[in-house]
Amino acid sequence: MTPQSAIEALNAHSDEAEALKMRGYPKVARPYLGVPAPVIETLCKEWRAACSLDERLAVCAALWDSNSFEGRIAAAKLLTQARIRPDDTEAWALIKSWVPEFDCWAITDAVSIAGQKRLVWNPERVEDLVPWVTSEHIWTRRAALVMTLPWTKQNTPKEAELAVRDQVLGWAAELASDHEPFIQKAIAWWLRELSKHDSPRVHDFLSQHGQKLKPFAQKEAARKLASQDYARLFNG
């Protein structure tokens, strides 16, 4: 498998009618191929099985540099794997190198899901995200929250996991006054997921910082809390 053969395989599934529909959605000027998501999944599964890690990284880099929407989604999916052998250091470095080029939520979130796996594998990498929280680039700020979503999931977190959870809640507090809709949505997403496993922390966060959030984000963040809690938090 070569980078060029991967690009050609993706292009072979292009559909101009579907591509035309897609161009109007992200509102970002780039090539759209109209390749369905299940086809991208199938191709990535085949490429993952056929490539060494070095080959896969080269394919990912080429797909990303092609700048097509589907190419960038495929690059992200190729690196979405719980464990990458023999070593995932270069995979993480490649993911980080893409962050400044994020320009829409779909690509940001697809790469962030790949990034989640690399952070869970080595939680010390969460420190790499600290400067992202104050970035002028909206999608970098969003990625800091989306990549750390795995720390909302534990019912009985260990001390180190709680430390990350509280660290990210600190980022969310810092970003609560950022009224960019995609940042508000990311904060609400993080809090809603956390409320399923640690509702007291979400209640405390909303008590202290909830009034800074947009009303739609308040409602989404508190959606899994008891209705009376929402009333106390936001209706006086």
Dihedral sign (CA 180, 202, 171, 124): negative
Domains (range + CATH), the chain = 1-103 (1.25.10.90)
Burial classification of residue 162, based on how many CB atoms lie within 10 Å of its CB (0-12 exposed, 13-18 middle, 19 or more buried): middle
pLDDT tens for each residue of 114-156: 999 999 999 999 999 999 999 999 999 999 999 999 999 999 9
What pLDDT does 232 receive? 72
What pLDDT does 188 receive? 98
- The confidence band for 23, taking pLDDT boundaries of 50, 70 and 90, is confident
pLDDT tens for each residue of 25-37: 767 889 999 999 9
Report the C-alpha gap between 171 and 43 in whole angstroms. Answer: 36
Cβ neighbours of residue 99 under 8 Å, at least 6 residues apart? 111, 132, 139, 140, 143
- The confidence band for 191, taking pLDDT boundaries of 50, 70 and 90, is very high
- The confidence band for 21, taking pLDDT boundaries of 50, 70 and 90, is confident
pLDDT tens for each residue of 207-236: 999 999 999 999 999 999 876 666 677 765
What pLDDT does 227 receive? 65
Tell me what the pLDDT averaged over the chain comes to. Answer: 94
Whole-prediction pTM: 0.94
DSSP for residue 82 = S
Query: How far, in Å, are 27, 170, 193, 230, 232 from residue 185 at the CA level?
Result: 19, 16, 12, 18, 22
Q: Which helix (H) or strand (E) holds 77?
A: helix 69-78
